[in-house]
Amino acid sequence: MPNLSTAAIINAVVSSAAATGFFERVNEHEPVSSPGNGITAAVWVDRIVPAPGASGLASTAALFVLNLRIYSLAQAEPRDAIDSNLSDAVDALLTAYGAGFTLGGLVRDIDLEGEFGTPLSAQYGYVDIDTAMYRCATLTVPCVISDVWAQSA
């Protein structure tokens, strides 16, 4: 049986995003086809690594990093509102993950300030999907989970 509750953690991140009311849909995977009009969010696993500063002698803690990408059609009108709409959604997510930073007790915490090297953050860019260009903001959601893997000699 796995020690990480990955499905529950992903579901909690998705539920928090959906609860903001900013998104037409929130997917638990990176889209392979056009997400459509409106603002869409997608969540997927970026990496899983030990979190040495949170580990003890009997067990290793994990840093479970998720990506949450927000998509808006780059040709959406009015174009001047695209970045402000994305930034409003990012702000709502940063607020939600800061306020509920244990995801209901599923994780020790979301690493808000980068204690383990990766802070809760957002990076903006563009992505081409199905011949359509999307403006996007990719949030890095680093979750610290205590006592994941037992250590023994």
Domain boundaries, the chain: 6-150
Cα 67 to Cα 46, 64, 81, 134, 150, distances in angstroms: 6, 10, 24, 17, 27
Q: Which residue pairs from 44-47 have beta carbons closer than 8 angstroms and sit at least 24 positions apart in sequence?
A: 45/6, 45/10, 46/140
pLDDT tens for the chain, residues 1 to 153? 457 889 999 999 999 999 999 999 999 999 989 887 889 999 999 999 999 888 888 889 999 999 999 999 998 889 999 999 999 999 999 999 999 889 999 999 999 999 998 899 999 999 999 889 999 999 999 999 999 998 887
Query: Given this model, what pLDDT does residue 1 score?
Result: 43
Rounded Cα distance between 66 and 50, Å, is 15
Which pTM value belongs to this model?
0.92
Query: Given this model, what pLDDT does residue 52 score?
Result: 83
C-beta separation of 142 from 119 below 8 A: yes
Query: Given this model, what pLDDT does residue 41 score?
Result: 97
Among 130, 153, 123, CA closest to 57: 153
- For 30-42, give one letter per residue: b (16+ CB within 10 A) or e: ebeeebeeebbbb
CATH of segment(s) 6-150: 3.30.70.1700
Among 40, 46, 42, 41, CA closest to 6: 46
